[in-house]
């Protein structure tokens, strides 16, 4: 199989135009200020006690900067790309920041409850305990960013919600920051159902890696990205292997797996 090459920030089949080195123009002609999320050294990318009115997170590379700037500019943003590029971390940090600044009333995290190749069997406890294997990463990030006490209180008051995709039917997202993670494991019908939940005053992020689907053919992620490319207020951001920040080793491993 030929090496799969990913292109970043494709708009209607072409790369987004640049007005200058610091600005990106999306398919709707909206100028995105990349400097709003300019790269900082890795050790400074997250501050647990950020100065007032300063961002909770700074991009670690240009790809993350473009991704976060697009989230700020569009109501719906797709983050497509390999593991280790920071898709989930960046989206969660931006949700935490919007929540802390009271720009949204709620944060909603969702993902398909699909296991990676093996079953965990019956999980004891209440619903929240059963969801922990799927949402533990989100909780950990939020605890670091907002503090465990704030997160626990918000969970109790349902202002931070962890909810499997299967529970979304019939609901409407309003005044919320919504993140759908591991979306490569959504079917086309599930993705359509999720997308039609979007209401007013809501920002939605859909993340996934189409090379790591656990449901075989028929993933709804690429289907949705293909259908919605070029629609106003929607941005499709595509990370490359060179954008991986988790470690150099992970970058090399993924490059080998994507090579024949």
| Arithmetic mean of pLDDT over the chain | 79
Query: If we measure between CA atoms, which residue out of 48, 16, 10 comes closest to residue 34?
Result: 16
DSSP states of 207-248: EE-GGG-SS-S-BHHHHHHHHHTT-TTEEEEE--GGG--S-H
The answer as to whether 106 is a domain residue is yes
CATH number of 146's domain: 3.40.50.300
If you average pLDDT over each of 102-116, 152-166, 209-223, which comes out highest?
A: 152-166
pLDDT at 46 over 50: no
Instruction: Answer yes or no: is 12 within a domain.
Output: no
Q: Residue 177: inside a domain, yes or no?
A: yes
pLDDT tens digits, one per residue of 137-152: 899 999 999 999 999 9
Label residue 259 by pLDDT band (50, 70, 90): confident
Residue 86 lies in a domain: yes
Q: Is residue 29 part of a domain?
A: no
Q: Which residues of 115-149 are buried (b: 16+ CB within 10 A; e: fewer)?
A: eeeeeeeeeeeeeeeebeebbeebbebbebbbeee
- Residue 7: inside a domain, yes or no? no
Indicate the pTM of the whole model: 0.76
Tell me if 63 is assigned to some domain.
no
Report the domain count for the chain.
1
Q: Which domain holds residue 117?
A: 75-257
168-199: per-residue pLDDT in tens? 889 999 999 999 999 999 999 999 999 999 99
| Helix 62-73 × helix 87-100 angle, to 10° | 40
CA distance 211 to 81: 8
Residue 38 included in any domain:
no
């Amino acid at each position: 199989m030929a090496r799969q090459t990913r292109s970043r920030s494709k708009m209607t089949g072409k790369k987004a135009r640049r007005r200058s080195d610091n600005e990106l123009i999306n398919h709707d002609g909206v100028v995105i200020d990349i400097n709003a999320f300019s790269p900082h050294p890795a050790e400074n990318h997250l501050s647990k006690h950020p100065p007032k009115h300063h961002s909770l997170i700074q991009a670690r590379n240009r790809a993350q900067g473009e991704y976060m700037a697009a989230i700020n500019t569009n109501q719906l943003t797709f983050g497509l790309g390999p593991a280790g590029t920071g898709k989930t971390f960046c989206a969660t940090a931006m949700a935490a920041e919007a929540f802390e600044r009271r720009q949204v009333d709620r944060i909603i995290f969702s993902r398909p409850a699909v296991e990676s190749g093996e079953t965990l069997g019956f999980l004891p406890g209440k619903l929240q305990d059963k969801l922990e294997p799927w949402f533990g990463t989100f909780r950990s990030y939020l605890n670091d960013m907002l503090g465990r006490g704030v997160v626990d209180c918000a969970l109790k008051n349902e202002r931070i919600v962890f909810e499997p995709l299967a529970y979304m039917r019939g609901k409407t997202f309003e005044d919320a920051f919504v993140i759908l993670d591991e979306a490569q494991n959504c079917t086309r019908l599930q993705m359509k159902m999720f997308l039609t939940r979007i209401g007013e005053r809501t920002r939605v992020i859909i993340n996934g890696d189409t090379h790591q689907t656990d449901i075989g053919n028929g993933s709804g992620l690429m289907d949705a990205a293909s259908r919605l490319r070029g629609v106003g207020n929607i941005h499709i951001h595509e990370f490359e292997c060179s954008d991986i920040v988790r470690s150099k080793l992970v970058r090399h491993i993924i490059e080998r797996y994507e090579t024949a």
